[in-house]
Amino acid sequence: MFDSLPDTGFVRLPAVLKFYPVSKSTWWAGIKTGRFPAGVKLSERVTAWKAEDIRALIQQGGAK
């Protein structure tokens, strides 16, 4: 499944949570505490994460 994560580019939250299975509230709380990488605002209502940041998070075992 990790192979289907792109090497570069952006991924939206539903895809992130497929690779790093936590609840949405846990994900957002982790961003506030610095445990998870912050997203990039693509528009007013769209946030995405760099695929490289998600790969690094998974490889590090969850700590930023």
Helix (H) or strand (E) holding 58: helix 51-59
Stated pTM of the model: 0.85
Q: How far apart are CA 20 and CA 40, in angstroms?
A: 18
Rounded Cα–Cα distance for residues 59 and 54 (Å): 9
Q: How does pLDDT run across 12-61, given as a tens digit for each residue? A: 999 999 999 999 999 999 999 999 999 999 999 999 999 999 999 999 87
